Amino acid sequence: MTDGMFGAKGTGDTSGYGGLVRQAVNFGSSERPYGSYFDEVADDLERAYPEFSEAIERVVVDRGELTLHVKREKLVEVAFILRDKLKFEMCMGVNGVHYPEQTGRELHAVYPLLSLTKNQRIRLEVSVPDGDAHIPSVVEVWAGNNWHERETFDMFGIIFDGHPGLTRILMPDDWEGHPQRKDYSLGGIAVEYKGATTPPPSERRSYK
């Protein structure tokens, strides 16, 4: 069996009973030149923000998108500079991603930014440990992130410090758990029809 055909490697076992294996996606820092307008953005930010090398952990360019991995302590500072100096006037929200395998940085918050002035997009990413899931709120920078942060809190349990009213937004107020986390089961019950049983989606066989 050729390597790569439908992703089969090694024994080429295609029965599908290998179980669901999910691994962390971890890109190293990208090398300059980044291409497109990304070098310009990085240069402008370095000029406008002397603590750049301290605050920005990694700069990743992948599939034509620039991601700045920001330390959470510096997030609000960086956000203000990006908004006021680099003209990223709009934040298109925040969404969480849960990587249980990335020990010490299980929860990621991703902020897509948009500049109306320069017609550019970049992305900020902040990662925090599961046991200390606190990220400073950027609502004072971009007021429109209010509901987005509430949703990310609701779905992942990330606490946005300084948010004006961090409550659940989609789930009921007394709900337990944060549904989008990987350790939160999808739920569902098996369905029996004419003697055959179909398990719920989270318990069906899945492919590597």
58, 71, 72, 121: which one binds other proteins (CB under 8 A): 121
How many alpha carbons fall within 13 Å on the CB side of residue 110?
12
Tokens representing residue 30 in the block = 């990208």
CB 55 within 8 A of CB 70: yes
Cis upstream peptide for 33 (omega within 30°): yes
Binding marks (x or -) toward other proteins, 122..141, rule CB under 8 A? -x------------------
Question: CB neighbours (10 Å) of residue 33?
Answer: 10
Query: For residues 185 and 16, what is the distance between their CA atoms, to the nearest angstrom?
Result: 21
Binding marks (x or -) toward other proteins, 165..204, rule CB under 8 A? ---xxxxx------xx-----x--------------xx-x
Of 14 and 57, the one with the shorter C-beta distance to other proteins is 14
Q: Does 1 bind other proteins (CB under 8 A)?
A: no
Q: Does 164 bind other proteins (CB under 8 A)?
A: no
DSSP E strands in 137-190: the ranges are 159-161
Compute the least distance from the CB of residue 97 to other proteins, in Å: 5
Contacts of 116 (CB under 8 A, 6+ apart): 87, 89, 90
16, 18, 33, 162: which one binds other proteins (CB under 8 A): 16
Query: For residues 65 and 61, what is the distance between their CA atoms, to the nearest angstrom?
Result: 6
List interacting residues with other proteins (CB under 8 A). 5-7, 14, 16, 21-25, 27, 62-65, 67, 89-93, 95-98, 110, 112, 114, 116, 119, 121, 123, 142-148, 151, 168-172, 179-180, 186, 201-202, 204, 206-208
